[in-house]
Structure 1
Amino acid sequence: MFKPNFSLTLRNAALVLALSACGLASAQTLHVELNTASLLNTGFIDLQFNAGNSPVVFASAAISHLNGFGDLSGVELQGDVQKQGGGFVFGNTTSYNDLFQAISFGGKVSFDVTFGGLPDPAASGIESKFAVSLYGADRTTALGNYNQLDGSLMSFSWVPTAGAGVVTSDITDSTIASISAVPEPSSWAMLGAGLVLVGVARRRKLAA
């Protein structure tokens, strides 16, 4: 597995407790999909969430709606990663935060990721990076057209700021990796209302 090559500082656990007392920055949920149809047999998916600068501004990445991950009883977690319900929550309070899981290739692997954390009080653009990689059965051979620095097929840079925060993405291999936005509840409500109005209009037209 690739490991970050930048220096990191440890974050005091008390900072995590501060989440309950401070306003959180949050970003729209994003849907990540990996098409492994071009890959053979089995391998591993590797997810990392690490701070990229010092000092570290606390941030988190929650993954949910996991599909294609197989049996999670053998998942390997390192650093600030915890299982939560059917998904996992990454923090950036340690120098290396990683999820490593065996998967079967040939289909689609997907999950949703939502970023959060404490707003950067200095507004200095201190980011954390969420990276997605695939490895072969030997656990070390990076697959696809990966980033030569960290082995990732795609990555997200997340900066918690007051309000929505700022997230940017980079896809190294678009033949395997893709990203799409997950509509927020308000968007689903608007869509539902629109469909109802369309249905009402159609019934009135048929009755006329």
Structure 2
Amino acid sequence: MFKPNFSLTLRHAALALALSGLAGLATAQTMHVELNTASLGSSGFLDLQFNPANTPAAFASATISHLSGFGDLSGVGLTGDVQQSAGGFAFGNTTDYNDLFQALSFGGKVSFDVTFGGLADPSPAAIPSKFAVSFYGADGMTVLGNAEPDGSLMSLSWQPTAGAGALSLAITDQTIANVSAVPEPSAWAMLGAGLALVGYARRRKLAA
């Protein structure tokens, strides 16, 4: 007669829950960007852009927060659909060119979180908007690093499709740019619950 192993079943269920939490990290809409400026000289400019591939496009936004290493923001240059907000900046894609230009002292690390949102576009031809990062020399014109023809060292393209939306990442200079997913609170909660169940199942097995 078959006797179900409830302890094993519980462990499998807990593991599946934990893995589903990890899977949620890949679809997170918030990304952490870290930029190492040690190889760029002494000073220059950081350039952040969020522009639609074509217009008109469904409204999309890119909000940067948890800024570190940005220096004095009093002289930051904002062009197009960009607004300074509490603790960061909010980009929209309502114009062709939306830009943040900030003077920096190089040598350390610059980091921030970028959160994408907007109105879902369910059409197969949904127009993406690209969030791009570039560095320029002290003259404000010389492109630094191993950049794309448009000057970007890394970019995140946001496709506002129905549901969670879709992100695609391109990093041209990995010695400068590093990007990682920031899990949403629900993903952390699911992962924590899964790991707690794994621990509970383990303790039951040891006590048996």
TM tier, shorter chain? 0.7 to 0.9
Counterpart mapping for 1:17-166 below 5 A: 28-148=29-149, 150-166=150-166
My pick for the range that moved more, 117-126 or 72-81, is 117-126
Residue 188 of structure 1: SS of its match in structure 2? Answer: helix
| Structure with the higher fraction of residues in helix conformation | 2
Distance 2:42 2:202 in 1: 50
Higher Rg: 2
Report the CA distance between 1:40 and its aligned residue. Answer: 1.7
CA apart distance, 1:90: 0.4
CA distance in 1, matches of 2:175, 2:196: 37
Deviations 1:24-48 (A, max 9, x none): xx95210111111112211111000
Q: 1:195 to 1:120 in 2, by over 3 A?
A: closer
Cα distance per residue 1:138-181 (max 9 Å; x no partner): 11111000001x10000111110111101101001011111101
- Under a length normalisation based on structure 1, what TM-score does the superposition of the two structures give? 0.78
Q: In structure 2, how many angstroms separate the alpha carbons of the residues matched to 1:193 and 1:70? A: 39
Q: Distance in 2 between matches of 1:119 and 1:50?
A: 17
Q: 1:203 to 1:177 in 2, by over 3 A?
A: same
Instruction: State the distance in 2 between where 1:194 and 1:27 align.
Output: 18
Question: 1:27 touches 1:165 (CA, 8 Å); kept in 2?
Answer: no
Gaps of 5+ in 1: 1-25
CA distance in 2, matches of 1:65, 1:129: 20
Structure 1 residue 102 displacement after superposition: 0.9
Q: For residue 198 of structure 1, report the CA deviation from its aligned partner.
A: 8.5
| Alpha carbons of structure 1 residues 27 and 188: separation in structure 2 relative to 1, 3 Å | closer
Give the AA of the match of 2:157: S
Distance, in Å, in 2 between the alignment partners of 1:70 and 1:202 is: 49
Please give the root-mean-square deviation of Cα atoms over the aligned residues, in Å. Answer: 2.5
SS at match of 2:89: strand
Structure number with the bigger relative contact order (C-alpha 8 A, sep ≥ 6) is: 2
Q: TM-score, normalised by structure 2?
A: 0.78
Check 1:201–1:173 CA distance in 2 against 1; reply closer, same or farther (3 A cut). Answer: same
Q: Which residue of 2 aligns with 1:180?
A: 180
Task: Show structure 2 runs of 5+ residues with no match.
Answer: 1-26
